[in-house]
Structure 1
Amino acid sequence: MIRFITVIAILVCSLSLFGWNSTYLTYTLTGNSKWKVTQDAYVVSEVLFADYDLYYPEDIFIKDGKMYIADSGNARIVVFDLETREIETIGDFSLWMPTGVFVSDRFIYVADPGTSEVVVFDKKGKEISRIGRPKNILFGEYGNFIPRKLVVDKRGNLYIVSEGSSEGIIQLDINGEFLGYFGANRVWIGFLDKFIDLFYTEEQKSVFLSRIPKPFTNIAIDDRGLIYTLTQNENGNAIKKHNTLGNNILSKSKSNQMVDEPNFTDITITGDGRILALTETGLIYEYDPEGNLIFSFGGRAISTERFGLFSVASGIACDEEGKIYVLDKERGLVHVFNPTEYTNILHEALNLYINGKYLESKETWQKVMTYDGYLRIAHYGLGKAYFQSGEFEKAAVHFKEAYAKAEYSDAYWELRNAFIQKHMGLFLLVFVIVFFLFTVLSRMRSKKSNAFRISIKSRLVRDVLYVKNMLRHPLDTFYYLKSGDHGSVLSATILYLIFFIVVLLDYFGRSFIFNLNVSDRSVAFVLLTTSGITVLWVFSNWLLSSINDGMGTLKDVYIFTSYSFAPYILFQPLVIMLTYILTYNEEFLVDFISFINIGWSFVMLFTGVKEVHDYDIKGTVKNFLLTLGWIFVMILVISIVYMLWDQLIDTVYSIIQEVLYRAR
């Protein structure tokens, strides 16, 4: 009995240590950007202010062991000592609706949109000054000054997020003088917007087009004085890290955008530069200083109140020990998250990596891998460590797991260089032998050409191999295809199959460095898209040529189109093989040769239209453009039908039901 009780006690203690209070899951990203449940990153240790009447608190800030809360509904700042647990209040009779609070070494700054002022207190809670709307003529007569959030740098300059201000962050000096706007968002103008510009008047553009930059919704500052901002509904660019010029230095390419949420509500920066962002629904995203996602955890309490889940989250802060404090606006609570051992080890490895101590971080990253072997950032850190130590093969393995193409390419370059140097003599010997054999065979063939000519009796095989003639004699080839001397429906069908195989290899068969990032596309999708466009081309070109006195039949169009793909069919496989030899720095060769192959095929297609339909240049251009235009229209119609398919089915079903009902 005693042993049984002891075992139960051990189990209870173990559950409390390993996340008994964890009512949520922690997620991370694998190398191929797939979400995965990982070890608990944080566990809730306590919930504060359960017996205190916080009313719609909007912001939270931690400084020197004290927590400052903008208790908006009660029009005050609540100061909570994290060590003594004593509570004080500031601004009870001078604030109207505080929504932002920032604490420097000397002062407490409060953004109060109720009075449209920034109110400054000393550390004892005595009001020092009020900073209102700037009177500088550069600020503008109609500029918005409704402070909601703010930060202050070490020089005393204020950076203010004003409600509805699309010009950017309002920057004031220590005396409240306007210094200018900082880091405004940009307006993205797409192809449709540029197209509309050609036809709309300025008045119509002002009515139908909204080209006002999105306003910032929150702001933070790190120990180095760099400004961070949040913008809601800004996919892939919601978080910005601004340099001194206001430019975003977290900017990523489209293929490597930050993982974010459209409803971020607050942001804070830890002492070691990690970024913590909070959504209104209670999700907490943790990033490294470069904007790479580490964890995502938390969430919304839907039916019951549970630790670590929120009704409406509004603020986040972090203390020197790495604890995270999250403010629940609706319930007036602060949830305290403690980092687990797993997280502490990861942070240690990350700090070593950030400081450039790649070799020193290797052992720590290996400890992290014992907790989660799929963590992208751990593979990346290990790859850097192995690369630094000259273990390029291991570095390449981890860079590939982290999906870090550029770094993988660097490791592969080192491996390729070592391989070439080791086998240089063998390469030279093979080159000399091949060159000698090629020279001898060329001379023998020139003397006895008939002896080396292979006779192919199968008409089908000859027709398929006839595709090579397209490269040297395209005009003659199209002539003989149309006359029926060469080519057939069956040979054309075989060429189409080969073409589709090459397309699939081009999409899915390239090396890791040059793959096209099409993990969201299936073989069936690529095959259906390619074959669909090809079918649309054949029928559209035939129909339009029939209307415009073209001489080619449907069979002619079907055959010449397949032979027009000759450059792509014959040379693109060489490009695919090159991707396994070249590195990222030689990417231009792959792109250039691919462009040549595709462009050459289009030239062949254009020539085929001219020769088969017996058009002049003007007629060929007209037919070619009309065919492409008709294909675009058909794709547009098919897309609309596809999007409205459910409504169409419901409509048809309703009509049938109505007919059956009336037939009774």
Structure 2
Amino acid sequence: MMRRKIILMLAGLFTLCAGLFAKGDTYIYDYWGEMEKSPDVYRVTHVVYADDLNLSTPLKNPTSLFTYGNSLYVVDTDNNRIIELEYTAKKTLAFKRVIDRVNTNDDSEATFDGPRDIFVNTDGTMFIADTNHGRVLKVDENLNVIFTLKEPDDPTYEQGKAFLPEKVVADSKGRAYVAARNINKGFLKYEYDGTFQGFFGANEVVYNVTDLLWKKFATQAQKEKMVLFVPVEYSNCYMDSEGFIYAVTKTFEQWDLLSDKAKPIRRLNALGKDILVKNAEDQPPVGDLQWGNAAGISDPSKFADITVLDNNVYLAVDESRGRVFAYNDQGYLLFAFGGRGNVDGFFRKPAAIEHIGKDLFVLDSMNASITVFSPTDYGKLIYQATEQFACGQYDDSAETWAKVLEYNGNYDLAYIGLGKAYLRQKKYKEAMEYFKVKRDRRDYSKAFKYYRKEWIENNIGWMVGLLIVIIVLSFVFKIVKKIKWELDSL
């Protein structure tokens, strides 16, 4: 109890101290949606450029990353190849091999043309999106082609368009989900044997209200010149450990972001429905909440890629401002860092993000570089507290959140985390205090409801006794008053 009060009283002091540790590019948003600097959650441990890999041909427009075990696969699109790197114990990347051809059993092309993605399944098989060849190859560990996913011959698929698969993921059963350019009906779903099964996770139609009204009253000739209102496309995806697909899209009306109509990040279940949890009041997972015109950039965040840690924290990289945003499984922003630039930890055009453990890899397609990040002590505490709470270790979680506050006294989630830990421990009054500090109305109401119920249960005895005494005294008073009246009437 004493420690809790000291933490609350000295929050401002801790914040000042935290500022001494903050490099300046890591931040969160407060209750009012204002940006707050915070200590660094990640630090750059290594930056790998094309020359560092001793390749005969340098990387050229790499577009995708994938990790499997301690291997990092880099899709080197314009060189028509995939580079496999090994992540070493020293947190560096070492060259392992080049994948630039497969072993076919027919007359099909053995090399790639503009590949844009790779996925390695738990059984070691690989799916390679060979984009310009209009196919997705499934190969074994020795690069022997098992089968090829091609343009669907199905009434639900619009014929006549070039089939350009760009992203692919697969579940543990071998079912593949493909995002293709110019396909706006969702992911193309293929069964484990390669047969097309239809579309998955169809996106909502995005339209501008003004254009909709104009189209309603326009002539036929004017309508033909207008852009058709069609569902938007997914720009990237990630299959988490539970088999759910995290998908990101960059097509939306920017003013639909804060009302949560745009949904740039989605978590799709087996039915293709978005089940992403968003409990942060007025701050949905959309990246930056402020879109000021800094360095000539006025667009909102547009996520190029997403990855999900084992603790269900998901991180998305924003190609607009070169930032990484991390959210927990409740949709709360844990931290954001990065920016546009040429110094370490900043990017010119981030194209992909991946992880091994809690270490992150961000691919910059313009610089043809890979930046390796490792969590700081502050970042490790945030992850530790999040994981402890998820595992039901509420006492330990509260202690860890208190340590987080020693680094950053204005970290909202630490107060909310402490409040939730106390709520789980049935310390409702203490929980209310923490929720009140950071204006968490939803959780404060929940804690207050339980506190009120507990208070009534603990005090119902004397309350009932007092009520009985009042009733008895009232009855006795009436009898005495009646007797007195009868005596006075004699």
TM over 0.5: yes
Aligned to 1:26: 26
Separation (CA, whole Å) in 1 of partners of 2:141 and 2:174:
16
One-letter amino acid of the structure 2 residue matched with residue 102 of structure 1? F
Matched AA of 1:316 = I
| Deviates most, 214-223 or 115-124 | 115-124
Match of 1:267 among 278, 296, 306: 306
The one-letter amino acid paired with 1:341 is D
Determine the structure 1 residue equivalent to 2:168: 150
Residue 383 of structure 1 deviates from its aligned partner by: 0.9
Q: Which residue is equivalent to 1:317? A: 354
Does the CA contact (< 8 Å) of 1:55 and 1:71 recur in 2?
yes
* Aligned match for 1:284, one of 313, 321, 324: 324
Is this contact kept in 1: 2:21–2:39, CA < 8 A?
no
1:22/1:377 CA distance change after superposition, 3 Å? closer
Contact kept? 1:19, 1:40, Cα under 8 Å? no
Cα gap change, 1:23/1:390 in structure 2, threshold over 3 Å: closer, same or farther? Answer: closer
Distance in 2 separating the partners of 1:412 and 1:32: 23
Correspondence for 1:360: 396
Query: 3-state DSSP class of the match of 1:149?
Result: strand
Matched, 1:42 2:81: no
What is residue 307 of structure 1 aligned with on the other side? 344
Aligned to 1:530: none
Give how far 1:191 is off. Answer: 7.1
Is the contact between residue 152 and residue 158 of structure 1 (CA under 8 Å) also seen in structure 2? yes
RMSD: 3.3
SS at match of 2:62: coil
> 1:189, CA displacement in angstroms?
6.7
Kept in 1: contact 2:134–2:162 (CA 8 A): no
How far apart in 2 are the matches of 1:334 and 1:19? Answer: 28
Aligned residue identity for 1:247: K
1:455-501 deviations in Å (ceiling 9; x for gaps): xxxxxxxxxxxxxxxxxxxxxxxxxxxxxxxxxxxxxxxxxxxxxxx
Residues 613-660 of structure 1, C-alpha deviation per residue, up to 9 Å, x if partnerless? xxxxxxxxxxxxxxxxxxxxxxxxxxxxxxxxxxxxxxxxxxxxxxxx
1:195 and 1:140 map into 2 onto residues whose CA distance is 28
Structure with bigger strand share is: 2
Query: Comparing both chains, which one has the higher relative contact order based on Cα–Cα distances under 8 Å and sequence gaps of 6 or more?
Result: 2
Following TM superposition, by how much is the alpha carbon of 1:416 offset from its aligned partner in structure 2, in angstroms?
A: 3.3
Q: 1:172 to 1:21 in 2, by over 3 A?
A: farther
Using the TM superposition, give the Cα deviation of residue 20 of structure 1 relative to its aligned residue in structure 2, in angstroms: 13
Higher helix share: 1
Residue type of the alignment partner of 1:81: E
Match of 1:381 among 417, 423, 432: 417
- Checking the alignment, whether the CA contact within 8 Å between 2:317 and 2:324 is kept in structure 1 is yes
* Aligned position for 2:408: 372
CA offsets per residue over residues 223-246 of structure 1, 9 Å max, x none? 110011001143241000111111
1:337 paired residue number: 373
Counterparts in 2 of 1:32 and 1:19: CA distance versus 1, 3 Å: closer
* Number of residue pairs aligned between Structure 1 and Structure 2: 413
- In structure 2, relative to structure 1, the CA distance for the partners of 1:356 and 1:145 (3 Å cut) is farther
Q: Is the 8 A contact 2:134 2:163 kept in 1?
A: yes
Match of 1:165 in 2: 183
Cα distance in 2 for partners of 1:412, 1:205 equals 56
Amino acid in structure 1 at the alignment position of 2:345: G
- Number of the residue aligned with 1:85: 94
CA distance in 1, matches of 2:94, 2:208: 54
Report if the CA contact (8 A) 1:29-1:294 is conserved: no
Offset at residue 42 of structure 1 (A) = 0.5
Deviation, 1:405, is 1.8
Q: 1:245 aligns with which of 262, 271, 274?
A: 271
Q: What TM-score do you get using the length of structure 2 for normalisation?
A: 0.76
Pair 1:348 & 2:384 matched: yes
Unaligned 5+ runs, structure 2: 1-17, 102-109, 288-299, 475-490
Query: 2:176, 2:231 → 1: CA distance?
Result: 22
Where in structure 2 are the equivalents of 1:439-454 lying within 5 Å?
A: none
Return the offset for 1:308: 0.8
In the superposition, relative to structure 1, how do residues 20 and 127 fare at CA in structure 2: closer, same or farther (>3 Å)? farther
Aligned to 2:62: 57
Q: Does the CA contact (< 8 Å) of 2:278 and 2:332 recur in 1?
A: no
1:123 aligns with 2:141: yes
SS of residue paired to 2:420? helix
Note the C-alpha offset of 1:390. 2.1
Contact 2:152–2:196, Cα closer than 8 Å, also in 1: yes
Compare CA radii of gyration and give the structure with the larger one: 1
How does 1:604-615 map onto structure 2 within 5 Å? none
Kindly report which structure 2 residues correspond to 1:389-428, keeping only aligned pairs within 5 A, or say none. Answer: 389-418=425-454, 422=459, 424=463
Whether the 8 Å CA contact 1:79–1:88 is kept in 2: the answer is yes
| Matching residue of 2:107 | none
Cα 1:177–1:227 change in 2 (3 A) is same
Q: Shift of residue 394 of structure 1?
A: 1.4
Task: Mark the CA change 1:375 to 1:219 in structure 2 (over 3 Å): closer, same or farther.
Answer: same
Which residue does 2:284 correspond to in 1? 257
Residues of 2 paired with 1:315 and 1:160: CA distance? 17
Q: Aligned to 1:70, which of 75, 81, 98?
A: 75
Q: Per-residue deviation at 1:41?
A: 0.4
The match for 2:119 is 102
Q: Give the AA of the match of 1:186.
A: E
Q: Per-residue deviation at 1:198? A: 7.4
Partners in 2 of 1:151 and 1:199 — Cα distance? 43
* Structure 1 residue 291: Cα displacement: 2.3
CA gap of 1:393–1:86, structure 2 versus 1, over 3 A, is same
Change in Cα spacing, 1:262 to 1:211, as seen in structure 2 (3 Å) is farther
Q: What is the rounded CA distance, in whole Å, between the counterparts of 1:311 and 1:112 in structure 2? A: 26
Q: CA–CA distance in 1 between the matches of 2:22 and 2:402? A: 25
Alignment of 1:409-558 (within 5 A): 409-418=445-454, 422=459, 424=463
Whether contact under 8 Å (1:29, 1:375) holds in the other structure is: no
* CA distance in structure 2 between the aligned counterparts of 1:291 and 1:262, rounded to whole angstroms: 16
Q: Distance in 1 between matches of 2:79 and 2:209?
A: 49
Q: Structure 1, residues 12-49: CA drift from partner, whole Å, max 9, x if none?
A: xxxxxx99999751111234433211111001011113
How far apart, CA to CA, are the structure 2 residues paired with 1:375 and 1:405? 17
1:112 to 2:117 alignment? no
By how many angstroms is 1:388 displaced?
A: 1.7
